[in-house]
């Protein structure tokens, strides 16, 4: 074997001293990053917890009135159909007077005419021959005219009461939905007695909601408090106000009746419709608040995934937490995490302690979706 020249040895030594070889790339790090799960995070911070109570109920009108004639008669005209809207002053029904009332009214008018003629004649005689007519005779004639006028006015009012109009705008029900004796709508020509319940008028300009609530919740409510009302049928919302709180508690149920008035209800609402009432019981300022979707449970024990740096790689850690009060969207955290930590809010599937992750913001997600579409 030939010996390596000394000068060549020196050149190789100097080259080794002047240039250090780069360490080989850790292929395991590249592999972990390429397998990182996409997530979204949110920092833990203070917030407001709005404690509320959701209760279902049925809408009722604020007022209703039974329309009945004050005198008897024969149904002559019913221009409004069942379940139709009417305006204030619209004709609901008109009765025709019985023959007996018509004849009695004519007799009263004839009696009044005779009484007036008799009074006029006595007044003329009094002027011509005062000694023939006494003051007492004149008073008697005047009293007869007054009584006759009252009788005519009585029959006139009876005739007017046979025409019934809407006292306010609303929806007409015939027959009434209340426990009326009649169960069928009246028809023209039908004999109607005094006080017969012909129709029921519902005032739709204002609704009332009756709720039975536990005693513990009643103490956290106040008259005039706003209540969010949502119709189950179409999801339309409206704001009502608590108009009445119970002064006593039902001993058997342990609850009290709360009345909520909706002054300006949506036009699509109907009496008897099912709604959900959201009542705010109180607000709590919490130092640390999490979104409900970020809280998971294992054996009924709550936890959240915390994203943190570990050896230059973003990984997740399971953090067992203690929870405080919450509302529909947020939960207060008492301990287990600290303010400012990044909590996983989306992409929890497949996570475990130490799994590498990559934060996926809105821009990244849009680009990824575009690439997938291609």
The domain spanning residue 73 has which CATH number? 2.40.50.100
In the predicted model, is pLDDT for residue 225 greater than 50?
yes
Tokens of 273: 């419709």
Judge if 81 and 128 occupy the same domain.
no
Q: What is the reported pLDDT for 29?
A: 52
Q: What is the reported pLDDT for 262?
A: 96
Judge if 270 and 214 occupy the same domain.
yes
Judge if 113 and 156 occupy the same domain.
yes
200 or 6: which leads in pLDDT = 200
Judge if 263 and 305 occupy the same domain.
no
DSSP code string of 183-228: -S---TT-EE-TT---EEEE-TTSEEEEEEEEHHHHTT--TT-EEE
Q: Give me the number of domains the chain comprises.
A: 4
Residue 259, number of CB atoms within 10 A of its CB? 18
- pTM attached to this predicted model: 0.61
Average pLDDT over residues 263-285: 92
Judge if 304 and 361 occupy the same domain.
yes
Lowest-confidence region among 26-30, 114-118, 302-306, 333-337: 26-30
Residue 277, number of CB atoms within 10 A of its CB? 22
For the chain, the average pLDDT equals 86
8 or 94: which leads in pLDDT = 94
Q: What is the reported pLDDT for 371?
A: 44
Backbone angles phi, psi at 166, to 5 degrees: -75, 125
Backbone angles phi, psi at 360, to 5 degrees: -115, 105
- Chain centroid to Cα 251, Å, comes to 29
Average pLDDT over residues 12-38: 54
C-alpha–C-alpha distance, residues 143 and 99, integer Å:
28
Q: What is the reported pLDDT for 12?
A: 39
Judge if 81 and 184 occupy the same domain.
yes
pLDDT digits (tens, 9 = 90+) for 331-356: 999 999 999 999 999 999 999 999 99
Tokens of 316: 């997740």
Average pLDDT over residues 200-207: 93
**Collapsed DSSP state (helix, strand, coil) of residue 38:** strand
Q: 109, 152 in Cβ contact below 8 A?
A: yes
Residue 21 lies in a domain: no
Judge if 72 and 117 occupy the same domain.
no
Q: What is the reported pLDDT for 131?
A: 85
Q: Can you give the residue range of the structural domain that contains 234?
A: 53-62+206-283
Q: What is the reported pLDDT for 282?
A: 87
Judge if 347 and 363 occupy the same domain.
yes
* Closest residue by Cα to residue 347 from 359, 364, 335: 359
- Chain centroid to Cα 184, Å, comes to 33
Judge if 37 and 127 occupy the same domain.
no
């Amino acid at each position: 074997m030939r010996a390596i020249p000394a000068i060549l040895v020196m050149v190789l030594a100097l080259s080794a001293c002047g240039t250090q070889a780069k360490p080989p790339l850790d292929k395991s790090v590249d592999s972990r990053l390429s397998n990182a799960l996409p997530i979204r995070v949110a920092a833990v911070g203070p917030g407001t917890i709005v404690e509320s109570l959701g209760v279902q109920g049925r809408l009722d009108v604020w007022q209703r009135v039974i329309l009945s004639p004050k005198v008897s008669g024969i149904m002559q005209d019913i221009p409004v159909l069942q379940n139709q809207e009417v305006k204030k002053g619209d004709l609901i029904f008109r009765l025709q007077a019985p023959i007996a009332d018509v004849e009695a009214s004519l007799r009263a008018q004839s009696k009044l005419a005779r009484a007036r003629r008799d009074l006029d004649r006595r007044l003329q005689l009094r002027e011509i021959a005062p000694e023939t007519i006494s003051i007492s005779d004149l008073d008697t004639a005047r009293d007869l005219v007054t009584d006759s006028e009252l009788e005519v006015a009585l029959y006139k009012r009876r005739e007017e009461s046979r025409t019934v109009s809407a006292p306010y705008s609303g929806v007409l029900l015939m027959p009434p939905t209340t426990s009326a004796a009649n169960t069928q709508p009246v028809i023209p020509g039908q004999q109607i007695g005094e006080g017969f319940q012909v129709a029921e008028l519902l005032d739709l300009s204002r609704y009332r909601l009756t709720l039975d609530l536990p005693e513990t919740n009643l103490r956290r409510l106040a008259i005039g408090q706003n209540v969010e009302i949502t119709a189950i049928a179409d999801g339309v919302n409206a704001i009502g106000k608590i108009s009445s709180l119970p002064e006593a508690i039902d001993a058997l149920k342990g609850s009290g009746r709360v009345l909520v008035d909706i002054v300006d209800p949506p036009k699509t609402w109907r009496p008897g419709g099912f709604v959900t009432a959201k009542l705010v019981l109180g607000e709590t300022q919490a130092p640390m608040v999490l979104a409900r979707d970020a809280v998971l449970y294992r054996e009924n024990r709550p936890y959240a995934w915390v994203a943190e740096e570990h050896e230059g790689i973003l990984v997740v850690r399971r953090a067992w937490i203690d929870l405080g009060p919450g509302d529909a969207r947020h939960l207060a955290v008492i301990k287990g995490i600290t303010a400012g930590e990044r909590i996983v809010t989306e992409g929890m599937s497949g996570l475990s302690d130490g799994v590498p992750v990559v934060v996926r913001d809105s821009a990244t997600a849009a680009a990824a979706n575009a690439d997938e579409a291609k």
